[in-house]
Amino acid sequence: MSLPDLREGAVAAPEEALWRIRLRLAWRGFRKGWSSFVSNRIGIVGLSIIVLYGLMALAHPILMHTVWDPRIYDPVIGYDAPVTQKLIVPDNEVTDPTTQIDLFSARLQNPLLKVGDTLDVSEQPARPSREHLLGTDPLGRDVLSQLMYSTRAAFILGIVAALVTVGIGTTVGSVSAFFGGIVDTMFMRLADLIILVPFLPILIVLSALFHFELLHLAILIGVLSGFGGTAIILKSQALSVSVKPFIDAARVAGGGRMHLIFRHVIPNVLPLSFLYMMFSVTDAISSEATLSFLGLLNINMSWGIMIYTANSQGYLLSSASYWWLLLPAGMSVTLLAGSFYLVGRAMDEIVNPRLRRR
Amino acid sequence: MLKYVGKRIAQSLIVFLVFLTATYFLLQAQPGDISDQFLSNPKLTPEVRAQYAERLGLTGTPLQQYLHYMQNFATGNLGVSFSEYPRPVWDILKERVPRTVALFLFATLLSFLVGFKSGKVLAWRRGKRGENLITVVGVFFQTVFYPWFALIMIRTFSFNFKLFPGGKFLNVEKWLDKPNTFDANSVFERMLLTAALLGLTLLALEIFTRRMHNRVVGRRIVWGGRILLVGFAVVWWMTVWSVMLPYALDIGDHLILPTITLALIGFGGTMLLTRASMLETLREDYILTARAKGLSSKTIRDHHAARNALLPVTTSLVISLAFLIGGGVITETVFSWPGMGQTLLSAALQEDIPLIIGSFTFIAILALVAHIVVDIAYMYLDPRIRVGD
C-alpha cells in the first residue's frame, strides 16, 4: 500500500480540513454570482416578487390561527355574508351592479322602497371591505384567504416539479453524454418524442383518463420536462464537460464511471440545471392554473380554481365591476410565473458566460 | 437536399408510429372496457355484453387488438364518437382540422414575423432607454396566464371597443338567408385554399428573386408580384365566388381576434431570442468589416446581422411551435373556436375516448408536420447543410 504515501508525499497536505476549503470556495463562488445577480435589476425584481409571495404563503397559516376565524376565512369551506348598502335606481339603469340595485329587485324585498333609497343587501360576491380586503367569491369565501392559501400550493407544485425535472434531466443528460452509444440514442429519441407533442394536450388527455391531484401533476410535469427538452439541453452541457482535461485526469487517477459522473460531470452541469429549474417552475405554475381553469384537476383550491369558480358562476365578462374575482388570481399566476422566469434569465447571464456583459 | 428531406420524413413516420402505439397502450392500460358500462343494467345479460365486446373488437389478445387498431387507423376508421353519437370521429375531425390549422398557421407566421422584426430593431438600438422595459414586456407575454389574457383581449376589443366578435366561428344571424349551394366548411376551405396558394406563390417569387443578381429589379418584381397576386385573389373572390364573399368576410372577422391573441403569446419569446442572438452576431468581425466598408446601417442590420441571427431563432421555433399549439387549445376554448383543441377539451370533459384519441393524434400530426417544415426551412437557411450534401 504505497500509493497513499506517494500521494501525500507529492502534494503538501492542506492544514485545514477539506470540507472547510470546499465551503469557502462555494461561498466565494456564491458571493461572486450574487454580486453579478444583484447588478441585474430584472433579476432582483423577480426575486423580490418571489419573496413577497413566499411571505404570503407563510402568513396564511399564522393568520388562520390568530386573527382569522376559520369558519369565515377558511379558503375552501369558509362562509360569510357581508352586508353591502346599495342605491336603488330605476329598472334597467343599473350601471354598476356592485353598488346599485334596480327598483324591481329591491321591491321584492320591501315593496315600500322607491328610487333613491338605500337598501342593505347581503349577497355574494361581496365588494372588498374592511373584513374582506379582496371581497368574497360567488360562494361567500374570502378571496384574500384563497389567494394566500393557493400561494403555498403554487410553491409546492413549482418546487416539486422543478426538483423532479432537474433530478431526471441532469441524470439522464449526464449519463447519456458520458456513455454515448445505445443509452444516448434511447434517451434522446425518447426526448424527441416528448417534445414533439405539446405539453397541454398531453395533460388534458391524461387528466381525462386519471384523476389528478396537485402532487401527481407536479411529478408528471417534472417527468415530462425532465425526460424531454431539459435532458437534451443538459446533455449538450454534459458533453462539453466530459471532454475537459480534468475528467481524463480523474479517470487516470482511477475513478470509476459512477464516481466520474456523480462527482465530476454532474457538479459541473448543476449550475445550468439550476437555471432550468427556474423555467420548470414557470411551466408548472402556469400549466396547473390552466388545467384548473379548464376544470380538469381534482384539487380544492388554487389560483386556477379561483378563476374557474368565477367563470362557472358567470362573472367572467363582468370583470370590470367584479374585478376582485379575476384580477388577483390572474395577476398572481402571471407575476409568480413571470418572476421565476425573470430570475432564470438573470441567472442565465451568470451561468452562461457567453451572455455575460463585458 | 431531397435525401435529407426524405430521411427526415421517414424518421417522423417512425416517431409517429411509436407515438400512436404509446397512446394506444395508455388507453389499453385503463381498467375495464366499454362493455362494462352496461354492468349495472339488468336487462343486458352477460351474453349480450360478450356480444358487445366481440362486435367492438375487444376480444382477443392485446397484440391482436393492437394490430386491429392500427389497421383501422390506417384506413381512417377512428371509431364513433360517444358524445356526438353516432357521428364517426373521422367526420368530426375532417370538419375541424382546417380551422385549427388556419388559426395555428396565421398566428405562427404573424408572431414570428413581428417578433423577428422587432427583436432585430431592438438589438440594433441596444443601450437606449427602456431596455429593461422591453424585457419585462417580452417576459410578460411569454408567462402571462393565458386564459386570463385571452379574456382581457375579448373584453377590450370585442366588448369595450366592439371591433371584433367575441368568439365563435360565424355569426348565425348573417347566415340565415344563405343559399343552399354551399355550407360554412366549403367557404372556409376556399378561404384556406386562397391563402395557401397566395402564400406559396409569394414564397416562390421571393426565393426566385433572391437568386437574381440585380437587387433593384428583383425588389421591383417582388413588389409587382405581391400587388398582382393579391389583386388577382381579390378579383377572383369578387367575381367567381362573389356569392360566398359576405360569408367569407364574416368568418374572417371571427378569425382576427383569436389569431392576434395567439400571436401575441408567441411573439414575446421570439422577440427576446432574436434580440439576444442579434447582439451576439453584432460582435462578430464581419460586422466590423461591413461597417468599415461604409455600408449603410440598414444594410448591415438586415443583410449581414439579421440573416445570421435567424438561425438560432429558427431552431427555437420548434419549441415555440409546441407552445403555440398548446396555446391554441386555450385560444379555441376561450374564443369558442370549434377546432381540434376545443374538441379535445370537450371530449376530455365528457370522457369521449375515441374522440380524445382522434383529436390528440391529429394535434400530434400537426406538430409533426410543423417540425418537418421548420427543419426544411432551417436547412434552406443554413448553407452549411444546404451545400454540404
Collect all residues with Cβ–Cβ distance below 8 Å to A132 and sequence separation of at least 6: A80, A82, A126, A142, A143, A144
Q: Which domain holds residue A213?
A: 39-66+140-355
Higher-scoring residue by pLDDT: B70, A357: B70
Q: Are strands A100-102 and A83-89 parallel, antiparallel or unpaired?
A: parallel
| Structure-block grid coordinates of residue B276 | 439576444
Q: Is A333 helix (H, G, I), strand (E, B) or coil?
A: helix
Q: Which residue from A204, A229, A303 is facing B348, i.e. has the nearest CB?
A: A204
Please provide the average confidence, as pLDDT, over all residues in chain A.
Answer: 84
Whether B83 has its CB under 8 Å from any CB of chain A: the answer is no
pLDDT at A162 over 90: yes
ipTM (interface predicted TM): 0.82
Q: Please, are residues B44 and B38 in contact by the beta-carbon 8 Å criterion?
A: yes
Give the DSSP per-residue string, B264-294: HHHHHHHHHHHHHHHHHHHTSHHHHHHHHHT
Q: Are residues A117 and A145 in the same domain?
A: no
Nearest chain B CA: its distance from A201 CA (Å) = 7
Give mean pLDDT, residues A164-168.
93
Best mean pLDDT range from A78-87, A126-135, A147-156, B319-328:
A147-156
Percent of the residues in chain B that have a pLDDT greater than 90, as a whole number:
15
Whether A326 has its CB under 8 Å from any CB of chain B: the answer is yes
Q: Domain for residue A72, yes or no? A: no
Pick the closest to residue A230 from A269, A288, A264, A256 (CA basis). A269
Q: What is the interface size between A and B, counted as CB pairs within 8 Å?
A: 128
Q: Are residues A149 and A34 in the same domain?
A: no
Q: Are residues A57 and A31 in the same domain?
A: no
Q: Are residues A292 and A255 in the same domain?
A: yes
CB within 8 Å of chain A, chain B residues 294-353: 318-319, 322-323, 325-327, 329-330, 333, 341, 344-345, 347-349, 351, 353
Largest Cα separation within chain B, whole Å, is 90
A183 to A170, A178, A188, A267: CA distances (angstroms): 15, 10, 9, 21
Q: Are residues A43 and A33 in the same domain?
A: no
| Structure-block grid coordinates of residue A261 | 459522473
Q: Are residues A115 and A156 in the same domain?
A: no
Q: Are residues A158 and A295 in the same domain?
A: yes
Q: Are residues A107 and A186 in the same domain?
A: no
A72 to A77, A142, A150, B143, B144: CA distances (angstroms): 8, 8, 17, 33, 31
Rounded Cα–Cα distance for residues A141 and A120 (Å): 20
pLDDT at A332 over 90: yes
**The predicted structure's pLDDT at residue A352:** 67
**The predicted structure's pLDDT at residue A354:** 57
Rounded Cα–Cα distance for residues A305 and A307 (Å): 5
CB-count burial class (<10 Å; 0-12, 13-18, 19+) for A130: exposed
Q: Are strands A118-122 and A83-89 parallel, antiparallel or unpaired?
A: antiparallel
Query: Could A204 and B132 be called an inter-chain contact, meaning their C-beta atoms sit closer than 8 Å?
Result: no
Backbone angles phi, psi at B50, to 5 degrees: -60, -40
Percent of the residues in chain A that have a pLDDT greater than 90, as a whole number:
19
Q: Please, are residues A358 and A329 in contact by the beta-carbon 8 Å criterion?
A: no
Q: Residue A51: CA atoms inside 13 Å, Cβ hemisphere, count?
A: 7
Q: Domain for residue A194, yes or no? A: yes
Q: Model confidence over B353-388: pLDDT tens digits?
A: 888 888 989 988 988 888 888 888 888 777 776 655
Q: Please, are residues A82 and A126 in contact by the beta-carbon 8 Å criterion?
A: yes
**The predicted structure's pLDDT at residue B193:** 92
pLDDT at A2 over 60: no
Question: Which residues does chain B have with pLDDT short of 70?
Answer: 32-35, 385-389
| Structure-block grid coordinates of residue B383 | 448553407
Q: Domain for residue A74, yes or no? A: no
**The predicted structure's pLDDT at residue B197:** 93
Give mean pLDDT, residues A21-49.
86
Q: Model confidence over B122-151: pLDDT tens digits?
A: 888 777 777 778 878 888 888 888 888 998
Q: Are residues A175 and A215 in the same domain?
A: yes
pLDDT at A208 over 50: yes
Q: Are residues A115 and A23 in the same domain?
A: no
Q: Are residues A108 and A2 in the same domain?
A: no
**The predicted structure's pLDDT at residue B198:** 92
**The predicted structure's pLDDT at residue A33:** 80
Q: Are residues A18 and A59 in the same domain?
A: no
A339 to A52, A330, A331, B324, B351: CA distances (angstroms): 11, 14, 12, 21, 36
Rounded Cα–Cα distance for residues A169 and A178 (Å): 14
Backbone angles phi, psi at A83, to 5 degrees: -100, 130
Q: Model confidence over A47-106: pLDDT tens digits?
A: 999 999 999 999 999 999 998 888 888 888 888 888 878 888 888 777 777 778 888 888
Q: How many domains does chain A have?
A: 3
